Amino acid sequence: MSKKFTLGIVGVRGYVGRELLALLANSKHIQIDWVSSRQLEGKPLSHLVSNSDSNSVIDNEDFIAPEIEEDHYYKNLKIENLSTSDIANKKTDVVVLALPNGLAQPFVDAIEQTGETKIIIDLSADYRFDDQWIYSVPELLSADKINDIGKQKLIKISNPGCYATAMQVGLAPLVEHIKQPAHCFGISGYSGAGTTPSKNNDPKNLNNNILPYALLEHIHEKEVAYQLNCELSFSPHVAAFFRGINMTFQLELNQRWTIEKLQQHFEDFYQQSALIKVSSEVPNIQQVINTNDCLVGGFKLSQNGKRCSFVSCLDNLLKGAASQALQNIYLALGLELSLKSN
């Protein structure tokens, strides 16, 4: 077997970093070289991806951990607290930045100076508006952009936001066929609010409740508008479930459509995309949690055929974050990736 690519992760205290570790646990092509976290320094890496370990930092039953065998290398790898220069000098093939917004730049600057790392994947919003970075929902990348990736000495990929992924999957096939602005109504599980305590992830505050927030100019609204070059309005909400996103679209079309034509249009658009499934039925969150899939469907039309509504659903921690990051890592390395599609 050929030598594995090495990968390091900066910041694994949050849910997405843990999910990525779980996805990488049994990779045939990539091996974790190091993991850096100030808060978790000294803990064995296996504790981050094991629900059965009494010392695990994971206490949420919705996290589905992989089987970690006794001889798995995760058992012997401890989390470190690495400086920017430490990380740059590791000469790791792939560096994943799983940090809160606004913290990526010092690490990027240090890595760029050494010139040893092949790929940086940033999971935050820091570079989603920077044209020097590749913004990648893999299913929406053109062949030209995919070819360009391999020509770069240092490949810098900005991983899209979870809400933004759900919106783009729904809007991309129709962006040339709608009267703008598009209207998007989203509901996310409270894992989308992160691990830092707040009113948006407080179980008592969420009990029998749904919380609207950032109802104007949400960063994911700006992200989608920038990437698809379209106008839209986005209304985000958080509810009392852990993971998943439901996105409902209301669009005005510029000509008359039929339900059959609309669904066929989406099926044709995503025919090569194993993780995006088109359905005549309205998708729901229970169908996508703990999966890598994004479901889109439930198409409805007004009597005049010019107003449509439909829904997209995905797991915000997987296709909305970690599994999409893994897709982008494999894409940048020129490897084939077969993620399980449920």
Pair 97, 122: CB distance under 8 Å: yes
Q: Is 294 tagged catalytic?
A: no
Please give the Cα distance from 289 to 246 (Å, whole number): 11
Phi, psi of 80 (to 5 degrees): -110, 170
Angle separating helix axes 15-24 and 323-333, nearest 10 degrees: 50
How many residues in the chain? 342
Given the residues 162, 184, 308, 313, the one annotated as active site: 162
Q: Is 299 exposed, middle or buried (0-12, 13-18, 19+ CB in 10 A)?
A: buried
The residues annotated as belonging to the active site are 162
